[in-house]
Amino acid sequence: MPTQGDFERAAGEFDRSAVLVDEMFLGPHDLLHEGVLVGGLLTIELSLWFDHLRGTLRNRADDLRDLAATCRRRAETCAAYQAALGEFDSANDVYEGERRRWAVQADAHALMPDLVAAPGPAPRRPEAPPTPPDWVSANSH
């Protein structure tokens, strides 16, 4: 499973590639319009074709930006899950300590009810974070 770091790295790469794809045909396009060919049907034809290709490549660049956005969203989801998991782990550590103390006091109270006070209600286990989507990895990097 990709990690938050993988998604962030991929988002950066998709964004950078989108810019390059956008500009990819700028060179030939500008060269033609600078007057390397003057007049004639071939010039008109190539000019039309270059314009068409630039438009199509712009769409492909948008596709890459969409992929980058998906990666960023997933990276955020991974980070949020990681944070929730960290909070859960801390709360769980506290819970385990309280539970052990409670168990000791409950055992002592059972043996010597006159000497040891009743332990009160048992501590409650913290709620685990909701199950993340399949593509979430618990490793942060």
Partner 1 sequence: MQPEGVRLLADRLVATADLADVLALDIGRAVFDSELASSMPEIMRGLAGELVQTGAVLRGRADTAQGLVLDLALQTSLLSVARSVTIDAAACRLGASTALGFDSPCDPVESIKLYTVAAGVYIPLLAVTGLKLDASYMVRVEHLHSGRLRVTRIEEGAFGLASSGGMDSEFHTGKSTTTTGASAKAWIEVLLAHGTTYEIGADELDEFMASDLLDFAARRFTLPGVLGQPGAVTGITKKVVGVVDHLPLWKAHDAITALRKRLNWTRPQPLSQFTEGGVTAGVSAGAGLNPLGPLGPLASLVKKIPVKGKVGVSLNGRAVVGVEQRPDQKTYYMDVRGEVATPITYRLFGLDLSKLAGAELKVGLVRDTATGDFSRIELTIVAEIGKNIERHTAVIDLRDPETHPAAQQLVDGLTNPLQLPDSLDALEKLLGHRVTIEQATLRRMDKSTYGMEWMGNGAKFTVETLDVR
Helices (H), 4-40: 4-23, 26-31
For partner 1, the binding residue among 45, 76, 87, 107 (CB under 8 A) is 45
Burial of 7 (0-12, 13-18, 19+ CB in 10 A): buried
- For residue 127, report the phi and psi dihedrals to the nearest 5 degrees: -80, 130
- Residue 49 interacts with partner 1 (CB under 8 A): yes or no: yes
- Residue 112 interacts with partner 1 (CB under 8 A): yes or no: no
43 vs 105 by CB, closer to partner 1: 43
- Residue 46 interacts with partner 1 (CB under 8 A): yes or no: yes
Q: What residues between 61 and 100 interact with partner 1 by CB under 8 A? A: 63-64, 67, 70-71, 74
CA atoms 92, 98, 100, 106: torsion sign: negative
- For residue 19, report the phi and psi dihedrals to the nearest 5 degrees: -65, -45
- Residue 2 interacts with partner 1 (CB under 8 A): yes or no: yes
Taking contact as CB under 8 A, which single stretch among the options 56-64, 93-101, 106-114, 120-128 is the one that binds partner 1? 56-64
- Residue 25 interacts with partner 1 (CB under 8 A): yes or no: yes
